[in-house]
Amino acid sequence: MTYQVTSAVLGLGLATTILWLIRRDRLHGHHAFWWLLTAFLVVILGIFPRIIDFFALQLGISYPPTLLFVLGMSMILIKVLSIDLHQSQLERKMRRLAQRLALLEAEQMKQPPAQNNETD
């Protein structure tokens, strides 16, 4: 029974930390979704460990903790792919902004300097 309490406390602690980071504007809500999902799963699987046994048997896995490792690795791979997609999008936006800035600077260089209408 103590491992159930430990897992539930760890999951709730993780969820509390994620919500605190969102509130302090240190973690964007989109990224927090994955972490809150992980915290939720830790709490649920900690309270009801037989869920893993049931699904492992349904999938033909003879050693149920193996399913936890497979699920964990799958979530890590999905998260890494999500980060790479976001990074690629940011790089594309940064490249386009740099190109627009270069075009604006080129246009500015072509224009004659502003005439000062004041007399000395």
pLDDT of 105-118, one tens digit each?
999 999 877 666 66
In a domain, 30, yes or no: yes
Asked whether residue 118 is domain-assigned, the answer is no
d(CA 106, CA 110): 6
Residue spans of alpha helices (H) in the chain: 2-23, 29-47, 50-59, 65-110
Domain enclosing residue 33, as ranges: 2-106
For the stretch 7-66, pLDDT in tens is 888 888 988 999 999 899 998 877 788 888 888 888 898 888 899 999 999 999 999 989
Q: Does residue 119 lie in a domain region? A: no
Which amino acid is located at 37 in the chain? L
Question: Given this model, what pLDDT does residue 120 score?
Answer: 52
Per-residue pLDDT, 113: 73
Q: How many alpha carbons fall within 13 Å on the CB side of residue 34?
A: 15
Domain count, the chain: 1
- Does 79 fall in a domain? yes
Describe the crossing of helices 65-110 and 29-47 by its angle, rounded to 10 degrees: 180
Alpha carbons 114 and 120: distance in angstroms, whole number: 16
Does 116 reside within a domain?
A: no
**Please, which pLDDT band fits residue 3 given cuts at 50, 70 and 90?**
confident
Domain assignment present for 7: yes
Confirm whether 112 is domain-assigned. no
